Structure 1
């Protein structure tokens, strides 16, 4: 075991001092965060993908070069005790056999990482909106065989959003399992319509998340599958800000949505903090959902470590719209309630 691994979870968070016995719980939570938004590109998967000539490492963005030492260092500096990660697989694979092999390599690597560091990592098994068969295999293998604690899924695939009736087979199985579903945008519909000079993660990803949430509402997904818990990334995109607008124009949706139910639907999502927590954004989020529905998310490594440790984490811990108990719940307690197996890893 390296000195870095030995010290994992014990290093003090830069810039935060204990404030005495009355804040002991909050101080602990700021050093025992549960990060529900961590992107993992397995080195083993990259090795496989290069051999298959699917990717070329040197041409990939820096965030795909995941390594254990860097991950643990970032986590310790940001006060993250446990990271729940999505399993990244790059490239647009079409052949069913190759896609399954790709998923198998990535899942086995994810399982090995969690087994070697069970107190530091957990993972979501991936679903594929355009392939029910592959999704059913992945959720069975990931959840039952490898110990995944939830599933991850893109907000849309090939222009079809999460919640579409074509996904009912997958959603019904997940509902039977009372699954936690972590969502994330990736393929933004309308290619070529993006604003030149503006990366898609800045605006377009937030819109894609907003569309997916409304898709889940208008397709009746939240009513038909009440046991599912959906996590919306980046504070739900634009959803908290336009909550009133969705209410006012709910009868313009197809099918129409009862205006009185809109707020109830919005309260049934979970929202992670990757990006939205600020004096301007937090009040909108809190006016839409209860703090018990907000989870800490770093969005590392696409969000660089220096931003996680010096900007986004401190912004949450010093947000004037939140009190100490709310911050403690967002940092740790809400995730332990939603994903109870994590509490046993402390």
Structure 2
């Protein structure tokens, strides 16, 4: 039991009540029940030593900056308490009140310096603006200077949903893909190379369309090279399958792939099924150990030796 799960969600009870009162179904699913004890039981049953907790979509901003700042602080304090009590079992990516950039920088500084967050979680888009947007430059500059690990989780695609097709099925993957391309074409991956971006769900469609991205780079006057894609980290949450792994392994730097579960939005039975496929997939044992733990230890040195 030594995996480090870089894609594990927290759903604080008060936050869950808030979303339910608003009638929000993240990604087209009900807000799941979550508790610290349930998370530990799940982790013990799936070979996970440490879960790095993060808030999923829709985040905390619903049009009111002050309200979003209060909720971000409450959630970060909640997560910090869990991490401080069980530092070997939990870490957390701090929530920011985006797209309030000033509030986001203030909260990121507090979370990293005072609460000792392991990194930051950002949604792929905010009000239809992706992470390479010029409005987000001050936050990227701050995170770059701090050498921050940033977990990028998909949000609601800024488009009308297709009736009968939940957002998690395909929209989430496109959202992640769009923000990765936005970061590349804006030059952010070069200018803010100190940020270590982890793309959820094996980067969405990024590995599969890698050469389309290169063609787009060439069209936009950028040197087309897979090296820029190898800067990204990729988690394998709900993506460690015979259909997805070949593309990911072809594109990603082997040192930049991490284990992910997507619990509790992915129920234990689904995680178990994906884990079964992953465990049967013919990987070099050293690469498997790196994905399960070693690559995440590089991102989170405090976890080294805590097996």
TM-score range, shorter chain: over 0.9
* CA shift for structure 1 position 317: 1.8
**SS of alignment partner, residue 178 of structure 1:** coil
* CA shift for structure 1 position 107: 1.2
| 2:234 aligned residue (253, 266, 271) | 271
Judge which range, 324-333 or 61-70, deviates more: 61-70
In the alignment, what sits opposite 2:45? 77
Is the 1:229–1:269 contact (alpha carbons within 8 Å) kept by the matching residues of 2?
yes
Deviation per CA, 1:139-182, whole angstroms, max 9, x where unpaired? Answer: 01111111101000001011100121111111111111100010
Unmatched runs of 5 consecutive residues or more in structure 2? none
Q: What is the TM-score with the length of structure 2 in the denominator?
A: 0.92
| 2:290 aligned residue (329, 333, 339) | 329
Q: Please tell me whether residue 228 in structure 1 is matched to residue 198 in structure 2.
A: no
* CA shift for structure 1 position 129: 3.8
In the alignment, what sits opposite 1:341? 302
* CA shift for structure 1 position 295: 0.4
**Aligned-residue RMSD, C-alpha:** 2.0
* CA shift for structure 1 position 257: 1.9
Q: Please tell me whether residue 126 in structure 1 is matched to residue 126 in structure 2.
A: no
* CA shift for structure 1 position 183: 0.3
In the alignment, what sits opposite 1:291? 254
Q: Please tell me whether residue 154 in structure 1 is matched to residue 123 in structure 2.
A: yes
Distance 1:44 1:304 in 2: 21
Matched residues, number:
303
In the alignment, what sits opposite 1:67? 35
Unmatched runs of 5 consecutive residues or more in structure 1? 1-30
Distance 1:96 1:58 in 2: 20
Distance 2:86 2:13 in 1: 16
Q: What is the TM-score with the length of structure 1 in the denominator?
A: 0.82
Distance 1:59 1:178 in 2: 34
* CA shift for structure 1 position 42: 1.2
* CA shift for structure 1 position 105: 1.4
Structure ID, larger Rg = 1
Aligned pairs for 1:296-307 within 5 A:
296-307=259-270
* CA shift for structure 1 position 345: 3.8
Distance 1:76 1:246 in 2: 39
Distance 2:61 2:110 in 1: 22
